[in-house]
Amino acid sequence: MVYTLMRNAEFNREKVLRSAMTAFMFKGYNKTSMQDLTKATGLHPGSIYCAFENKRGLLLAALEQYKQDRNIEFQNFFANEQPFFTELKNYLDNIVNECISCDSAQACLLIKALNELAEQDDEVQASISESLTNWQTALTEQFEQAKLSGELKTNRPSDHLARFFVMGIYGLRTFAQTHPHADVLHQLADQLYQDLCV
Q: Which residues bind to DNA, rule: CB under 7 A?
A: 1-11, 32-35, 43-47, 49-51, 54-56
Say how many Å lie between the first and final Cα of the chain, rounded: 72
Size of the site for a copy of itself (CB under 8 A): 41
Query: Is 33 an interacting residue with respect to a copy of itself (CB under 8 A)?
Result: no
Query: Is 77 an interacting residue with respect to a copy of itself (CB under 8 A)?
Result: no
- Supply the minimum distance, in Å, between the C-beta of residue 1 and DNA: 4
Q: At what angle do helices 13-27 and 109-117 cross, to 10 degrees?
A: 60
Report in angstroms the alpha-carbon separations of 59 from 29, 53, 161, 185: 8, 11, 31, 30
Q: Which of 26, 49, 77, 193 binds a copy of itself (CB under 8 A)?
A: 26
- Supply the minimum distance, in Å, between the C-beta of residue 197 and DNA: 44
Query: Using CA atoms, how far apart are residues 41 and 16, in angstroms rounded to an integer?
Result: 5
Burial 139-169 (b: 16+ CB within 10 A, else e): bbebbbebbeeeebeeeeebeebbeebbebb
Binding letters toward a copy of itself, positions 102-121, x by CB under 8 A: --x------xx-xxx-xxx-
- Supply the minimum distance, in Å, between the C-beta of residue 15 and a copy of itself: 24
Q: Which of 79, 178, 181, 183 binds a copy of itself (CB under 8 A)?
A: 178
Q: Which residues are CB-neighbours of 179 under 8 A, at least 6 positions away?
A: 102
Q: Which stretch binds a copy of itself (CB under 8 A): 10-18, 59-67, 87-95, 172-180?
A: 172-180
At 82 the three-state DSSP class reads coil
Q: Which of 17, 23, 169, 197 binds a copy of itself (CB under 8 A)?
A: 169
Query: Using CA atoms, how far apart are residues 29 and 20, in angstroms rounded to an integer?
Result: 10
Contact set with a copy of itself (CB under 8 A): 26-28, 30-31, 104, 111-112, 114-116, 118-120, 125, 128-129, 132-133, 160, 163-164, 166-175, 177-179, 184, 187-188, 191-192, 195
